Amino acid sequence: MFETTQVGSWPRSREMLRALRDRRLGKMSRKDFDRVANHEVRRTVTIQEEAGLDILVDGEHRRDNFYSFITEKVEGTRLMSLAEMLDEVEDKSGFEEMLTTLDVPASAIRNPTCVGRLERREPLALDDYHFVKSLTDKPVKITLPGPYLLSRSMWVGSYTRKAYGDQREMGDDVVRILREELQELAQAGCEFVQFDEPVLTEVVMSAECGRRTFM
Amino acid sequence: MGEELEYAAELINRIIEGVEGTRIGLHICRGNWSTREEVLLTGDYTSLLPALTAMRVRQFVLEYATPRAGDIKVVGESLSNNVPGTETPRELGLGVVNPRTTEVESPEDIVAKAEQALAFYGPDQIFLNTDCGFGCFANRCVNVEEVATAKIKSIVAAARFLRERYG
């Protein structure tokens, strides 16, 4: 009862941020990147164990953000900063104004844009699960981006229309990919899988708040 | 229910249908890209309930530390029964600390929040967690490690007290 856990991500160290940047720019090998990330995950697991949490997370250190990271794992995607996406947005001034009003740094926040048929190149989070489990006997929570968030954010018309007739068709592939991942995590014994759907609030609240957000 | 909400529920149900052996949760929040609370969204969960009740997930992991999320009663009255078509009780992953603030919530505050949830959920249905991550966007982490550590320790202290009182 009253089991304690976190939602998922942990503050990144300077070393981790540098590794993420170097990896993104193709200046760091995966092996070197993993060495930095593994160290950070180990530290985060220790902190949680010492604090006494019941269900542990890996802190999402390897992820650029909680949904853009899939571009590392899924064929047919491209990591694009919101600044890059601005070129494709119809209402440019409206989009820019929204970013400013909402305090969103357009160059630092990136989107997983769908640019081709989606295919899982490697598991999204199964390896992360195995790594955390090698560090602790406690139950582990793995986070995945929710299907609705992906079906909205990945669709950038001018890029995605070349691969899919409409958003629902792309959504079917999102479902297939997330279902495969969930099945593999369940088979591996992962105790808790959490789907993140922050964009649901936008559907119902952005009108009331008089604005939409960027996701 | 609106078309978009219906679609969101359909998508998650297609993913989880028939998958067993893991606890499946769904997290919802109102944005976590800025430490300026006023630029994040505001509203309780009422308008999402048609979609949430249709989703066959076991646990909803929800913001409740921020007052922008409204009253626990909203989900307590609608999402504390069994997962549709099963004998498994739904759970609430109760957000009890705000990941964006420097002030650390006291165990007493957290206990009080959990006790509000106890009006609708049994102790086994309540999980205690952060409202959201401490660094959803790597380049825009909303807190530092020292504060994050103090916040999770506060959650653990509250849980120990609650287990003593309700165990």
> If you average pLDDT over residues A186-204, what whole number do you get?
93
> Which token pair is A182?
């969930």
Domain CATH number, residue B135: 3.20.20.210
A188 in a domain, yes or no? yes
Please determine, for residue B72, whether its predicted confidence score (pLDDT) is greater than 90. yes
Indicate the DSSP class of residue A163: T
Which domain range does residue B109 map to?
3-166
Please determine, for residue A28, whether its predicted confidence score (pLDDT) is greater than 90. yes
**Chain B CB contacts of A169 below 8 Å:** none
SS3 (DSSP) at B32? coil
Please determine, for residue B36, whether its predicted confidence score (pLDDT) is greater than 90. no
Number of domains in chain A: 1
B67 touches chain A (CB under 8 A): no
Percent of chain A with pLDDT over 70: 97
B134 vs A9: CB contact, 8 Å cut-off? yes
User: CB of B15 within 8 A of CB of B22?
Assistant: no
A131 touches chain B (CB under 8 A): no
Which is higher by pLDDT, A190 or A207? A190
B57 touches chain A (CB under 8 A): yes
Domain CATH number, residue A72: 3.20.20.210
- Best A49, A191, A201 member to test B by mutation, with max B CBs in 10 Å, is A201
Residue B31: what pLDDT? Answer: 87
Residue A212: what pLDDT? Answer: 65
Identify the closest residue of chain B to A21 by CA–CA distance. B139
B107 touches chain A (CB under 8 A): no
A155 in a domain, yes or no? yes
Neighbours of B119 (CB within 10 A): 11
Give the whole-angstrom CA distance, residue A19 versus residue A39: 12
What's the whole-number average pLDDT of chain A?
93
pLDDT band at A86 (very low <50, low <70, confident <90, very high): confident
SS3 (DSSP) at A145? strand
> If you average pLDDT over residues A56-83, what whole number do you get?
96
User: CB of A36 within 8 A of CB of B161?
Assistant: no
Give the whole-angstrom CA distance, residue B110 versus residue B115: 9
Dihedral sign for Cα atoms in the order A130, A136, A142, A143: negative
Global ipTM: 0.96
pLDDT tens sequence across B80-128: 999 999 999 999 999 999 999 999 999 999 999 999 999 999 999 999 9
Cβ contacts of residue B41 below 8 Å, gap of 6+? A201, A202, A205, A206, A209, A213, B30, B31, B68
Please determine, for residue A39, whether its predicted confidence score (pLDDT) is greater than 90. yes
Neighbours of B99 (CB within 10 A): 29
A165 in a domain, yes or no? yes
Number of domains in chain B: 1
SS3 (DSSP) at A37? helix
Which domain range does residue A123 map to?
60-205
